[in-house]
Structure 1
Amino acid sequence: MKEIRELTKAEEQLMKVVWQLQKATIKEITDGMPEPKPAYNTVATVLKVLKGKNFVALEANGNVFSYYPLVAEKDYRHFAFDKVFDNYFSGSYHSLVSFLVEEKNLDEVTHERLKQLADKLKDL
């Protein structure tokens, strides 16, 4: 897997649209953005940066240019999680699970699912 670099919030938001559409023009990407929609030129600028970071590539079909992802959403999700896991939980699963259980108001269904997962860990 190639080196993945951290994205800014704006880059990440735009990549979510690219991942969803898989291949799209600047206008299609702009239309897929949440309100308030960024300007066309802003989307074009962010795509240029993402191309430089090797997150997207450009495909020309006549005079229509489409962007498509080079980094899979799953791969970036793993990268982002690992960064949070290492930086905020010091790589400790115990710290992560403790945070989820003690600091978050979990509904009963989520709490039960975590208990089931913990039981599975005991069986390993």
Structure 2
Amino acid sequence: MEIKDLTKAEEQLMQIIWQLDKCFVKDVMDHLPEPKPAYNTVSTIIRILETKGFVDHHAIGKAHQYYPLISKEDYKRYATSKLLDNYFENSVESMFSFFVKEEKLDLSDVDEILKMINKMKNRPR
């Protein structure tokens, strides 16, 4: 299945749906910060997510219980790959350097990342 881009609003709702796993529109509304959008707006965005293949639903009476079809991990993989490709010429080093220059990573972060890389290199396959 091809993963599609999410708008900011769609991604915000997907974060909630991933967190809840199974939910009704009301449940999503309960997790949105103030000022909350209209119920119909949230319902419409969730139906768009369904059209894009991110969620599906079970009909329970007249209500729909939504659940994710694409995992957060799969979307994270897709978004990271797209970020790397579109902004860093597919270079992890370039992205890493950017975050260091922007002071988004401190020395302890860098040390932890290097430890993870070394651990992964030494892992049996």
- Aligned-residue identity in percent: 46
| Two-structure CA RMSD over aligned residues (Å) | 2.0
Distance apart, 1:37 and its partner CA = 1.5
Distance apart, 1:103 and its partner CA = 2.5
Partner of 1:27: 26
Cα distance between partner residues in 2 of 1:65 and 1:105? 41
1:5-24 equivalences under 5 Å are 5-24=4-23
Query: Does 2:85 align with 1:86?
Result: yes
Partner of 2:111: 112
- TM-score w.r.t. structure 2 length? 0.86
Partner of 1:53: 52
Distance apart, 1:99 and its partner CA = 1.4
- TM-score w.r.t. structure 1 length? 0.87
Cα distance between partner residues in 2 of 1:73 and 1:122? 25
> Which stretches in structure 1 are left out of the alignment for 5+ residues?
none
Closer/same/farther in 2, CA of residues 44 and 92 from structure 1, 3 Å limit: same
Cα distance between partner residues in 1 of 2:11 and 2:76? 10
Cα distance between partner residues in 1 of 2:49 and 2:8? 12
Cα distance between partner residues in 1 of 2:27 and 2:121? 48
1:68 counterpart SS class:
strand
Partner of 2:39: 40
Distance apart, 1:66 and its partner CA = 0.7
CA deviations over 1:64-118 (Å, ceiling 9, x no partner):
3211111111100110111101011000122122112223243342132134346
Cα distance between partner residues in 2 of 1:12 and 1:106? 25
Partner of 1:77: 76
Cα distance between partner residues in 1 of 2:22 and 2:100? 39
1:65 counterpart SS class:
strand
> Which stretches in structure 2 are left out of the alignment for 5+ residues?
none
